[in-house]
Structure formats: structure tokens, C-alpha cells
């Protein structure tokens, strides 16, 4: 049987997830990471992407946009600004946000904050991918 560790995902307005898991995958500013029990202690900054939680009974996916993660050998704690389950995501809104961000990036207007547009694009893509 796979070894388990505790996972908590805390958002400002709710405890998004609290349970025992055998693996967690998420995106960080350093790239995607997969975390198993007994991982070396580490703290990372979260980048927009898909959070994949492997439980005894199967996989759960969510969109996770920003925050940080503290990894300890027996516990992973995610302090998230925004996390969403697939049934909470409005696909049309995410597609509209993706279009706006792409237009801003393509427009190359000197007043555009490109980094902000790129992060908005990543958030929209994470939302779309978690549904599809």
C-alpha cells in the first residue's frame, strides 16, 4: 500500500482540502513538482497550474493560481490565494479571460503590463485545462 502524508490547502475564505494523500503535483515558479511522502523540507512559490491530488480512492484535480507551499516529510501545506474545483469554474469566463490576455500580449502596447497579462493567461489556461 502506498505511503500517505497529510495535505492541507488553505484559502483565505475556506479550507479547500484536508486529507491523507500519496502524491501531490503542482506548478511552482521553478517548474512543476511531484511530492511524495518523505520529501526533503522545502518552500516554493506557486505558479498558476493544475493541482493533482492522489488519494487512496483516486485522483482529484483543481486549478491553483497563487500562494506558497511548505513541504515537510509527512505534511504538505498549501497557502493558496485562489483554488477552484472543476465544477466551480465557468469555462466561458475563462475563455474570455484567455482571449483578453492574448490580445494584450499580442498588442505590444507599451502601456501593457506584459507580466500581468502572462499571469492572467496562465490562470485562464489552468482553468480551461482542469475542465477539459
Quick note: the x/- pattern for ligand ATP over 7-36, rule CB under 6 A, is ------------------------------
Strands (E) in 1-132, as ranges, are 5-11, 14-21, 23-28, 31-35, 42-46, 49-55, 58-72, 75-84
Quick note: the x/- pattern for ligand ATP over 71-100, rule CB under 6 A, is -----------x-x---xxx--xx--x---
Q: Residue 98 half-sphere exposure, CB side, CA atoms within 13 Å?
A: 14
Nearer to ligand ATP, 47 or 84 (CB): 84
Stretch that binds ligand ATP, among 2-10, 71-79, 104-112, 120-128 (CB under 6 A): 120-128
Is the separation of the CB atoms in 59 and 86 below 8 Å? no
Amino acid at each position: 500500500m502506498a505511503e500517505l502524508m497529510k495535505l492541507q490547502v488553505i484559502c483565505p475564505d475556506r479550507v479547500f482540502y484536508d486529507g491523507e494523500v500519496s502524491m501531490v503535483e503542482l506548478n511552482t515558479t521553478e517548474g512543476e513538482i511531484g511530492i511524495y511522502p518523505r520529501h526533503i523540507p522545502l518552500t516554493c512559490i506557486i505558479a498558476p497550474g493544475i493541482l493533482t491530488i492522489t488519494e487512496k480512492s483516486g485522483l482529484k484535480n483543481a486549478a491553483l493560481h497563487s500562494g506558497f507551499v511548505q513541504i515537510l516529510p509527512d505534511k504538505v501545506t498549501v497557502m493558496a490565494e485562489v483554488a477552484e474545483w472543476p465544477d466551480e469554474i465557468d469555462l466561458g469566463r475563462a475563455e474570455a479571460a484567455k482571449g483578453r490576455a492574448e490580445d494584450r500580449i499580442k498588442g505590444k502596447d507599451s502601456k501593457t503590463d506584459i507580466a500581468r497579462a502572462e499571469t492572467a493567461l496562465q490562470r485562464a489556461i489552468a482553468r480551461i485545462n482542469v475542465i477539459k
